Amino acid sequence: MFQITSDPLDPAPLVAAVRRDESGAVALFYGVVRNENMGRGVLYLEYDAYPEMALKKMHEVADEVRAKFPVTGIGIMHRTGRLEIGETSLLVAVSSGHRREAFEACHYAVDRIKQIVPVWKKEVWEDGEEWIEGHVPEVPQARDSGETTDARRS
């Protein structure tokens, strides 16, 4: 399941889409709007996207994850529009046979999403607003785990 939407994000369908009988773990990342960034009070965020390209890039991220980690499923949902403090902006779910691989793959996916998926964030403060470019540390290298499981596109 890959989605760009202005609707609130619900993790249940995403988890159901990536869960497989052979999955011993599902890692779920919630990106949530916080009330400050770099010491400055944030009132709300606005997200904009190039939906067709964003979906294409989400599938690219999923393909990278499948190539690097033994996952059984992956899904990504990103919200657009105005989001208030506490609302969920990003959901990433990854399933795998084991927890370590699920966590590592999910971490990798979130970093890659921030690097290559064309979604833009505007922070709005009491005294102004600014489109923010994401800062992503170097993506960790996948552990060499030998064979990967053929993960169906979710």
pLDDT of amino acid 143:
43
Rounded CA Rg of the chain: 16
Look up tokens 């540390």; give the residue. Answer: 137
Fold designation for 2-131: Aldehyde Oxidoreductase; domain 3 (3.90.1170)
Supply the pTM of this predicted model.
Answer: 0.86
Alpha carbons 17 and 153: distance in angstroms, whole number: 9
At residue 115, what are phi and psi to the nearest 5 degrees? -80, -40
Q: What pLDDT, on a 0 to 100 scale, did the predictor assign at position 146?
A: 39
Q: Hey, how many other C-beta atoms are within 10 angstroms of the C-beta on 48?
A: 13
Mean pLDDT, consecutive 10-residue stretches, the chain (154 aa), reads 98 98 98 95 97 98 99 98 99 99 99 96 94 59 38 35
- What the block records as the tokens of 126 is 């009491």
What per-residue confidence (pLDDT) applies to 132? 86
